Structure 1
Amino acid sequence: MATLLLIDGNSLTYRAFFALPTDLATASGQVTNAVFGFTSMLVNLLRDHRPDHVAVAFDRPEPTFRHERVATYKANRDAAPDLLRQQMGLVRQVVETMAIPIVELAGFEADDVIATLAEQAAAGGDHVIIVTGDRDSYQLVRDPSVQVLYNKRGVSDYALYDEAGIQERTGVRPVDYVTYAALRGDPSDNLPGVPGVGEKTAAKLVNTYGDLDGIFAHLDELTPKLRENLAANEEQVRTNAEVMVLVRDVPVAVAPEALVLGDLDTDEIRQLFDFLEFRTLYDRLVEALDGRLEAAEPAGGVLEVDVELVSDPAHAAGALADIGGGDAPLAVAAAWSGAAGRSPLRALAVAAPVADAWRAVALDDAALGSVATVQPAGAGARPATEVGAALAAVLSRPAGVVGHGVKELLRSLLPHGIDCTTLSMDTEVAAYLIDPAGAGYAVGDLLERHTGMRLPVADAAPEGQLALGDAGEDVPIGVEVGRAAAAAGAAAEALGAVLDARGLRRLHDEVEVPLVRVLARMEVAGVGVDRSALEALHAQLATECAELAHLIQQDAGHEFNVNSTPQLRTVLFDELGLTPQKKTKTGYSTDAASLEKLLGEHPIIEHLLRYREVEKLQSTYGVGLLTEVA
Structure 2
Amino acid sequence: MSDKPILMVIDGHSLAFRAFYALPLDSFQTPQGQHTNAIHGFISMFLGLLNKEKPTHVAVAFDISRYSFRTRIYPEYKGTRGETPPEFIGQVPLLQDALHAMGVITLTKEDHEADDILATLAHRGSEGGFNVLVVSGDRDTFQLINDNVTVLYPSARGVAELKRYTPDAVEERYGVRPERYPDVAALVGETSDNLIGVDKVGEKTAVKWITQYGSLDALLAAAEEIPGVVGHNLREQKDRVIRNRELNHLLTDIDVGVSLEALERGPIDVDAVTKVFGELAFKTLTNRVLALGGATLIASESVVAPEAVALPQQRSLVDEELTAWLGKHADQPLGVQLRSLDGVILEVGLGAGVEAIRVPWIQGSKDHLPLLEAMAESSRSWVFFDSKSALKILHGEGLAPTITGDVHVASWILRPSGKSRSFAQLVSDELGTPLPQPPADQLLPEENEAGVGVEAWCVLALWTQLSSQLDEASRGVLSAIELPLVRILADMERIGIGSDRVALDVLERELAGQVGKFEAECFAAIGHEVNLGSPKQLQTVLFEELEMPTTRATKTGYSTDASALAELQISNPHPFLDSLLGHRDATKLRQIVEGLRVAIGDDHRLHTTFDQTGTSTGRLSSLEPNLQNIPIKT
TM-score (norm 2): 0.48
TM-score by length of 1: 0.49
